[in-house]
Amino acid sequence: MEEKILRIFAKHKNTHVSGEDISRELGVSRTSIWKHIEALRGVGYEIEATPHLGYKLMARPDRLIPEELKEGLKTKFLGKKILCYKSLDSTNDTAYNLAENGEREGTVVIAERQRKGKGRQGRHWASPPGGIYLSCILRPDIEPKEVAKITLVAAVAVAASVRKVAGVPAMIKWPNDILIKQKKACGILTEMKAEQDRVEFLIVGIGVNVDTPAGSLPKGATSLAKESGASPSKVALAKKILENLEHYIGIFRKEGFSKVRDEWHHYSATIGHHVKINCHDGKIEGQALDVDNDGALVVRLDTGFQRRILSGDVVIAH
The parent domain of residue 39 ranges over 2-59
Average pLDDT score, the chain: 91
Helices (H) and strands (E) in the chain, counts: 9, 14
pLDDT value of position 147: 92
Average pLDDT over residues 127-145: 91
Task: Give the end of a domain, one of 10, 39, 59.
Answer: 59
If asked whether residues 9 and 97 sit together in one domain, one would say no
125 falls in which pLDDT band (50, 70, 90)? low
CA distance 314 to 285: 10
Question: Domain total for the chain?
Answer: 3
Of how many residues is the chain composed? 318
Of the candidates 245, 252, 254, 308, which has an alpha carbon nearest to the alpha carbon of residue 74? 245
CA distance 242 to 303: 42
If asked whether residues 142 and 235 sit together in one domain, one would say yes
Higher pLDDT, 2 or 110: 110
Average pLDDT over residues 264-285: 90
If asked whether residues 287 and 261 sit together in one domain, one would say no
CB burial readout 12-50, b (16+ within 10 A) else e: beeebbbbeebbeebeeeeeebeebbeebeeeebebeee
If asked whether residues 25 and 99 sit together in one domain, one would say no
Of the candidates 236, 227, 306, 318, which has an alpha carbon nearest to the alpha carbon of residue 269? 318
H/E stretch holding 141: none
If asked whether residues 139 and 211 sit together in one domain, one would say yes
3-state secondary structure 147-183: HHHHHHHHHHHHHHHHHHHHCCCCEEECCCEEEECCE
Supply the CATH number for residue 214's domain.
Answer: 3.30.930.10
Contact 143, 123 (CB under 8 A): no
Question: If 0-12 CB within 10 Å is exposed, 13-18 middle and 19+ buried, where does residue 236 land?
Answer: middle
Predicted model pTM:
0.86
For residue 107, the cross-strand partners are: none
If asked whether residues 46 and 76 sit together in one domain, one would say no
User: Is beta strand 177-180 parallel, antiparallel or unpaired with respect to 171-173?
Assistant: antiparallel
Distances, alpha carbon 165 to alpha carbons 123, 179, 232, in Å: 29, 15, 7
> In this model, does residue 302 exceed pLDDT 90?
no
Average pLDDT over residues 206-222: 90
pLDDT value of position 52: 86
